[in-house]
Amino acid sequence: MKITVLNGSPKGITSVTMQYVHYISKEFPQHELKILNISQRLRKIEKDAQAFQDILDEISSSDGILWASPVYYLLVPANYKRFIELISEKGAGDVFHNKYTAFLTTSIHFFDHTAHNYMNAVCDDLNMRYIGSFSADMYDLRKPEERERLRLFAGNFFDTIGNNAPILKSYLPLTWRNFKYTYGEAKSKTDAGNKKVLIVTDSENQQTNLGRMIERFKASFSTEIEMINLRDLHIKGSCLGCIHCGYDNQCVYEGKDDYIDFYNTKVKTADILIWAGRIKDRYLSARWKTFFDRSFFNGHTPSLIGKQIGFIISGPLSQIPNLRQALEAYVEIQHANPVGFVTDEYGDSTEIDSLLQNFGKCLVQFANSGYVRPNTFLSVGGRKLFRDDIWGRLRFPFRADYVAYKKLGAYDFPQKEYKTRIQNAIMLLLSKLPSFRKEINKRMKKEMIKPLQKVLEK
Ligand SMILES: Cc1cc2nc3c(=O)[nH]c(=O)nc-3n(C[C@H](O)[C@H](O)[C@H](O)COP(=O)(O)O)c2cc1C
């Protein structure tokens, strides 16, 4: 069997993920796995029609396609995302039709599921036959039981193709609304006071729903609102995954393009951030993905603490809960407040006008009161994962994070709670007595609310 492997790592063959592909090749020498470096060669693939055609030819002559990529910011790297966009821009979807496919990632399991959901949906949209996905931790390959797991996954992949087995699709196609938003005059104006509002967008054209929603949002304020278009910035490329920033947050692109300065002087200094974009496939644009990927120079340290962040989105967001979750998670993990979304999916222009008007008001109110909504599992879970890895196995390459986490008091390991540990030890010992357990069972509900009642009695 011939399998084309589409490599998503910007590091090309010097990639952690590719070591997993090599392992599959080693275990299944009867099959040919041909690796194509997509992310690393994206610029050439984008500009040179023959380079893109060569990839299509490989895919055409393959029995299966293995998408293999690191997880970058809850998805795949920006260049890989751009390649996916090129497939539809260049009308090359037919080449992918009916091809069996699977998705292999390496990561530290931080929102690997959103990356997997995304690729599954993209493959369903391309009418591919998505066999399944495999999410390996970066260093799983060192463990015999994980190698065996990968071998079984790959075996199933080849068998499924060999048996021409039927595959169930997981995602319905998106339906886009045919609607032109036209805005009315803002009758009242919100005063942002001393709060700095910044709109970041990748809008290509002001005469689109997105462009007009941004204009209407700006018009709801009594002062001029700054807007920066990612298309106007000189961004040399996406994150290279080199981790040079791990030591002291210095990016290899520093001084070579506009991104770092823009992030430090504009994004970090705003109180209210509006991120505005149009849905492209199952996410925002690759340009937006570059914005997120390049923010990795901050490592795993939150860089937008306490900011109010809202999204203005054109397109069927409600049909892509995976995107909504990824965006909310990004904001939460930054210790910022995800204020919400305004889209052009529902309602007429008047309703969208009032949503945008109210959005501005809410953002300013929250900024004034310093409100940040309680964390959900998205960041509670994510932060524990980062805490453990930065304290532990990733401390060396991510020294800057290690130091910053210390300052933030992020090493809140439960082992340090000595009072709880003593209480637990006593209770566990006593609970060996049946009479004690009986009494506890009787009082459980009351005891659970006791500490809260103490607060209410104050
Ligand atoms: C810019 C950037 C973003 C990343 N984002 C994530 C992430 O969201 N979740 C995760 O679990 N790992 C994330 N990682 C870690 C990589 O997925 C992991 O190191 C992977 O094994 C690298 O594979 P590669 O060597 O094939 O590129 C990120 C790494 C970089 C450089």
Asked if residue 73 has its Cβ within 6 Å of ligand 1, the reply is yes
Q: Give SS3 for 387.
A: helix
Asked if residue 109 has its Cβ within 6 Å of ligand 1, the reply is yes
CA neighbor of 77 nearest in space, from 30, 40, 31: 40
Buried b (16+ CB within 10 A) or exposed e, 242-273: eeebbeebebebeeebbbbebbeebbeebbbb
* Contact residues for 116 (Cβ-Cβ < 8 A; gap 6+): 103, 105, 133, 135
- Ligand 1 centroid–CA 59 distance in Å is 26
| Cα 347 to the center of its chain, rounded Å | 28
d(CA 344, CA 315): 7
Ligand 1, closest atom to CA 71?
17
Domains of the chain: 2-162 (3.40.50.360), 197-377 (3.40.50.360), 380-410 (no CATH), 417-457 (no CATH)
pLDDT value, residue 379: 97
User: What pLDDT digit, counting tens, does each position of 230-260 carry?
Assistant: 999 999 999 999 999 999 999 999 999 999 9
Ligand 1, closest atom to CA 138?
21
d(CA 137, CA 120): 19
Ligand 1, closest atom to CA 74?
8
CA neighbor of 124 nearest in space, from 153, 154, 93, 155: 93
Give the bridge partners for 227, in sequence order.
Answer: 199
Asked if residue 298 has its Cβ within 6 Å of ligand 1, the reply is no
Distance (Å) of CA 49 to CA 36, 40, 63, 80, 104:
16, 16, 24, 17, 27
If you take atom 4 of ligand 1, which residue's CA is the nearest one?
72
Ligand 1, closest atom to CA 296?
1
Torsion of CA 44, 48, 53, 56, to 10 degrees: 30
If you take atom 9 of ligand 1, which residue's CA is the nearest one?
110
Asked if residue 110 has its Cβ within 6 Å of ligand 1, the reply is yes
Assess contact for 77 and 39: CB atoms under 8 A.
yes
d(CA 238, CA 337): 26
Assess contact for 146 and 23: CB atoms under 8 A.
no
Assess contact for 88 and 52: CB atoms under 8 A.
no
- Ligand 1 centroid–CA 295 distance in Å is 13
pLDDT value, residue 88: 97
d(CA 332, CA 173): 29
Segment (H or E) for 259: helix 259-262
Q: Give pLDDT tens digits along the chain (458 positions).
A: 999 999 999 999 999 999 999 999 999 999 999 999 999 999 999 999 999 999 999 999 999 999 999 999 999 999 999 999 999 999 999 999 999 999 999 999 999 999 999 999 999 999 999 999 999 999 999 999 999 999 999 999 999 999 999 999 999 999 999 999 999 999 899 999 999 999 999 999 999 999 999 999 999 999 999 999 999 999 999 999 999 999 999 999 999 999 999 999 999 999 999 999 999 999 999 999 999 999 999 999 999 999 999 999 999 999 999 999 999 999 999 999 999 999 999 999 999 999 999 999 999 999 999 999 999 999 999 999 999 999 999 999 999 999 999 999 999 999 999 999 999 999 999 999 999 999 999 999 999 999 999 999 98
d(CA 34, CA 39): 15
- Residue 333 burial (10 A CB sphere; 0-12, 13-18, 19+): buried
| Cα 313 to the center of its chain, rounded Å | 16
- Ligand 1 centroid–CA 359 distance in Å is 34
- Ligand 1 centroid–CA 77 distance in Å is 9
If you take atom 27 of ligand 1, which residue's CA is the nearest one?
9
pLDDT value, residue 458: 87
Asked if residue 106 has its Cβ within 6 Å of ligand 1, the reply is yes
- Ligand 1 centroid–CA 335 distance in Å is 21
Q: Which of 19, 71, 81 to mutate to test the pocket of ligand 1 (most atoms within 8 A of CB)?
A: 71
Torsion sign across C-alpha atoms 54, 60, 66, 67: positive
- Residue 129 burial (10 A CB sphere; 0-12, 13-18, 19+): buried
pTM, entire model: 0.97
- Ligand 1 centroid–CA 384 distance in Å is 17
- Ligand 1 centroid–CA 72 distance in Å is 5
Assess contact for 104 and 115: CB atoms under 8 A.
no
Distance (Å) of CA 337 to CA 249, 346, 425:
24, 24, 38
